[in-house]
Amino acid sequence: MKTKTYETVIVGGGVIGCSIAFQLAKRETSVLLLEKERIASQASSAAAGMLGAQAELMESRTLFELARTSRSLFPVVSAELKELSGIDIGLVRKGLLRIALTAEEADRLRKHISCQQSLGEQAEWLTARQALEMEPELSPNVLGAMYIPDDGQVVASDLTNAFARSAVALGAEIQEFADVEHLVVEKETVVGIKTKDGIIPCNQVVVAAGVGTESLLKPNGLHVPVYPVKGECYSVKTSKPLLEKTIYTDGCYLVPKRYGEIVVGATVKKHACDRKVTLGGISSLMQQAERLLPSIMQAEWNRAWSGMRPQTPHDLPYLGEHPRCKGLFIAAGHYRNGILLSPITGIIMADLVEGKTPRWDISAFAIPETVHSYTGV
Ligand code: FAD
Ligand code: GLY
């Protein structure tokens, strides 16, 4: 039997791969997505789902531009995905309070507010009293807060599954439990991928394999460094809501979800590639959560989990075609913001695969030239 050929094969069924599959399917490209476990089984189900363009990307102007555009795409994406997949991605646009617990933090946040206002974003300083009026369960120890009305949130695993199902509804194929062993490369051009079941021919490959990106490309002699940064989280349930808005500090955030759940995250441990949930990690989050929201200690325990954020040495994701391998596109390394950046990443990568120039300047996200000895397997 002749093996089916696809225009594009995507490796990785996290939020990034699924968003790209969705965009390519919308453009009627024949696309196959291969995921070695289940859709959304790694970082994309561990995420808290914050769309923290202003709260989390204050330091990186390069990513901030993409992030705020991506955030603005969510209302349309949410409606489109609901229509195609039936999944409600849980988009909530009630804003975020970035809390100051020290005078230094208050100074820093006030500077960020002026900077963001000058860029046309909404942000305002709340005194402690104003912050407590907005969120009455907050600790009276807060010194004030940066209020960001436009940083919303979604349910990360629902978003990922909604992208996947919508892509399938538009004609994409998805195979779970399909571990890609390496790319098939001839004359520095991708011609297929290899799984344990054989070779699948294709014209382009998009690698969106999160922390698996580096090891996937190694057999082909390509060095694209992505390392894991582990994050642990837990959640509680309350019968009456304790919060309306997301509460964010450098070490701990609290995200109020549907059905009375509050997600508390997240630890940050570089190069840890296990998914153990540790007492040390959870107890440190509990202490920080209590300092922000004392009444959380009366909430009912729900669950705990962890995941690995894909990070790159230059702190920016890779978005582009590999300079040494035609037809090999990479979208990986979205670190703490892959959920937020997923809609725009899907559009950018679909443009690149189609040979179009994306509307946004993506030169900062180019793939490095570095190679190991090239094998072309
Ligand atoms: P992944 O979701 O890890 O998907 C990659 C997929 O590739 C995996 O499913 C893997 O099995 C598959 N794969 C790997 N190798 C192969 C292979 N050889 N063959 C086939 N398949 C393969 N981001 C936000 O925007 N907001 C947040 O609030 C937020 N909170 C977070 C909290 C925590 C605790 C963590 C850990 C992350 C958080 N993030 C958040 C970051 C976000 O989760 C990631 O940036 C995003 O999920 C990365 O998506 P991805 O598709 O690149 O990776
Ligand atoms: N963006 C939240 C986290 O990575 O923990």
At 11-30, the pLDDT tens digits run 999 999 999 999 999 999 99
Ligand 2 atom 3: residue of nearest CA: 336
Q: What is the mean pLDDT of the chain?
A: 95
The answer to whether residue 64 scores a pLDDT higher than 60 is: yes
pLDDT bin (cut points 50, 70, 90) of residue 61 is confident
The burial class, CB within 10 Å (0-12 / 13-18 / 19+), for 300 is exposed
- 22, 161, 309, best to mutate for ligand 1 pocket (most atoms within 8 Å of CB): 309
pLDDT bin (cut points 50, 70, 90) of residue 44 is very high
CA–CA distance, 247 with 9 (Å, rounded to integer): 39
pLDDT bin (cut points 50, 70, 90) of residue 374 is very low
CA–CA distance, 280 with 367 (Å, rounded to integer): 37
Ligand with the closest atom to the CA of 50: 1
Q: Cβ(214) to ligand 1 under 6 A?
A: no
The answer to whether residue 60 scores a pLDDT higher than 90 is: no
pLDDT bin (cut points 50, 70, 90) of residue 58 is confident
Q: How far is the CA of 110 from the centre of ligand 1 (A)?
A: 32
Q: What is the pLDDT of residue 377?
A: 54
Ligand 2 atom 1: residue of nearest CA: 336
Ligand with the closest atom to the CA of 229: 1
What Cα–Cα distance (Å) separates residue 314 from each residue in 113, 224, 333, 334, 335? 26, 12, 10, 11, 11
Q: Report the range of poorest mean pLDDT among 59-73, 155-169, 289-303.
A: 59-73
- Report the pocket of ligand 2 as residue ranges, CB < 6 Å: 48, 50, 56, 231, 265-266, 309, 336
Mean pLDDT of the 281-294 span = 98
Q: What is the pLDDT of residue 2?
A: 61
- Per the listing, tokens 């009444």 go with 295
Question: pLDDT tens for residues 119-156?
Answer: 999 999 999 999 999 999 999 999 999 999 999 999 99
pLDDT bin (cut points 50, 70, 90) of residue 65 is very high
The answer to whether residue 93 scores a pLDDT higher than 70 is: yes
Share of the chain above pLDDT 70, in %: 97
Ligand 1 atom 36: residue of nearest CA: 307
Q: Are 293 and 236 in contact (CB under 8 A)?
A: no
Q: How far is the CA of 340 from the centre of ligand 2 (A)?
A: 10
- 44, 194, 213, best to mutate for ligand 1 pocket (most atoms within 8 Å of CB): 44
Question: pLDDT tens for residues 180-237?
Answer: 999 999 999 999 999 999 999 999 999 999 999 999 999 999 999 999 999 999 999 9
Mean pLDDT of the 360-367 span = 95
The answer to whether residue 341 scores a pLDDT higher than 80 is: yes
Q: What is the pLDDT of residue 4?
A: 81
Mean pLDDT of the 64-74 span = 97
| HEC per residue, the chain | CCCCCEEEEEECCCHHHHHHHHHHHHCCCCEEEECCCCCCCCHHHHCCCECCHHHHCCCCHHHHHHHHHHHHHHHHHHHHHHHHHCCCCCCECCCEEEEECCHHHHHHHHHHHHHHHHCCCCCEEEEHHHHHHHCCCCCCCCCEEEEECCCCECCHHHHHHHHHHHHHHCCCEEECCCCEEEEEEECCEEEEEEECCEEEEEEEEEECCHHHHHHHHHHHCECCCCEEEEEEEEEEECCCCCCCCEEECCCCEEEECHHHEEEEECCCEECCCCCCCCHHHHHHHHHHHHHHCHHHHHCEEEEEEEEEEEECCCCCCEEEECCCCECEEEEECCCCCHHHHHHHHHHHHHHHHCCCCCCCCCHHHCCCCCECCCCCC
Higher pLDDT, 334 or 377: 334
Q: What is the pLDDT of residue 80?
A: 98
pLDDT bin (cut points 50, 70, 90) of residue 1 is low
Q: How far is the CA of 210 from the centre of ligand 1 (A)?
A: 5
Ligand 2 atom 4: residue of nearest CA: 336
Residue 52's nearest CA partner among 121, 139, 130 is: 121
In DSSP terms, 150 is beta-bridged to: none
Q: What is the pLDDT of residue 307?
A: 98
Mean pLDDT of the 47-65 span = 92
Q: Cβ(91) to ligand 1 under 6 A?
A: no
The answer to whether residue 67 scores a pLDDT higher than 60 is: yes
Buried b (16+ CB within 10 A) or exposed e, 254-275: bbbbeebbbbbbbbbbeebeee
Q: What is the pLDDT of residue 369?
A: 81
Give the number of residues written for the chain.
377
